[in-house]
Amino acid sequence: MKKGVITKKKILDTAIDVFKDKRFGKGSIREIALTIGIKNSTVYYYFKNKEEIYKGLVETFKEGLCERVRKETLSMSRSSYDRVRKILKEYVTYIKENINLYDIFREVEFVDLQFAKSYYEEITNCIEKSYHDKLKDGVDPRSIAFAILGSVYFIAIKNLIWNKESNIDRDVEVALRVIENGIDRIRNFKPYIVNEKKYIEVEPQFNTRGEKTKKTILQAAEKLFGENGYQSTQIADISRLANTGLGTFYLYFKSKKEVLSEVIKLVNHALRSNSWEYTKDFDDRREIENAGMQAFFHQFKNMGKDYRIVRESEFVDRSIGTWYYTRIASSYAKGLKDGIKNGVIIKSEVEELAYVLMGISHTVGINWFVLNGEHKLNEKSVLSVLEFTMHGLKGILKEDK
């Protein structure tokens, strides 16, 4: 292997570790060069900037994953479910084999949204081919593909990245059971559209002058984090928008990261409060799932760019992001446990089932509101996802032999 090829490979390999530890925002060419023991100029000889290095890494991950998945679409002898099952098994296996690249890749929507779109389009196209001619009339094939992909989204992240566990077969099987049969044990629930409720801006109670100043800072931070991203927002920007001095900012917060943590807590509280408004009148867990999923879609839509804060927080400080999702999952699991006990939800490990359902909602929402930039819900798409969630592929496919 020629020296130049070796050097370029070494730069890319080192960049994986740097971007994994520092994330893209704080990772730098200087650190990559320093780690290898070469000059910055040597890195620039092979790459124009760190964006080009990052793109080289995520392109490698995308092409490898898509190639693995594409192979599974070539076999048309199996049933639709068997093909989907095989695709997801290969998908998870590839992630396990390239876990550091995957960890870096997850940040791509904040670095290059167009690249993220092309990735999702290719993966979901492969999934769609498994059932493209077998869907019942009125079912949205693209939203179903995102729901299927989303079923293993948090399972992979929670186990492989947060908990660093390598054996996730049991959790994947939970997702596959939902994909095949859905969560409705009785199989007689018919999903329906609920009316959108007024979005509740949940705010902590600030009474004193000092507390009101803190509220103003938090509101400014939430707005700027949502519009510009965490890394591109400076404390000076927050202070300027809040009409406070830098000294005043530091009276209430030690750092920008502390502000982010407080904002995430407010968003978490808002999600749970708004969901409660949608579900408080129901006892049947299937009714709660039907209304709760739509509550999430409405909130995602209404928050717009602000929901970016939640997705980006994990890449700023993993403990902040994982706190948000684990808190939701914990509460979610309790409700599912009651549904199982009452005989309306399929028997399953409740925590794993919670993460499966969270992943479906999250990934479908990413498709609608981030990748496509939609500003309203399509009832056909919503009902398709709800029917899939309740009854799996068996509920949305024509007879599949």
Name the CATH code of domain 209-345 (choices 3.90.550.10, 2.40.40.20, 3.20.20.140, 1.10.357.10).
Answer: 1.10.357.10
- Tell me the pLDDT band of 36, cut-offs 50, 70 and 90: very high
- Which amino acid is present at 211? E
Lowest mean pLDDT among 10-24, 130-144, 302-316: 302-316
114-118 CB contacts, 8 Å cutoff, 24+ apart:
115/55, 115/58, 115/59, 115/62, 116/371, 117/371, 118/62
For the chain, first and last CA: distance in Å?
51
Name the CATH code of domain 54-183+392-401 (choices 1.10.357.10, 1.10.3720.10, 3.40.50.1370, 3.40.50.720).
Answer: 1.10.357.10
Helices (H) and strands (E) in the chain, counts: 20, 0
pLDDT for 401 beyond 80: no
**Domain residue extents for the chain:** 1-47, 54-183+392-401, 209-345
**Tokens at 132, concatenated:** 């493209």
Give the model's pLDDT for residue 79: 85
DSSP label of 371: I
209-345 shares the fold of 1-47: no
pLDDT digits (tens, 9 = 90+) for 312-349: 898 899 899 899 999 999 999 999 999 999 999 999 99
Mean pLDDT of 359-373: 94
Rg of the chain over CA atoms, in angstroms? 22
Q: What is the CATH number of domain 1-47?
A: 1.10.10
**Tokens at 148, concatenated:** 């299927």
As a whole number of angstroms, the distance between CA 203 and CA 200 comes to 9
pLDDT digits (tens, 9 = 90+) for 77-123: 678 899 899 999 999 999 999 999 999 999 988 888 899 999 999 99
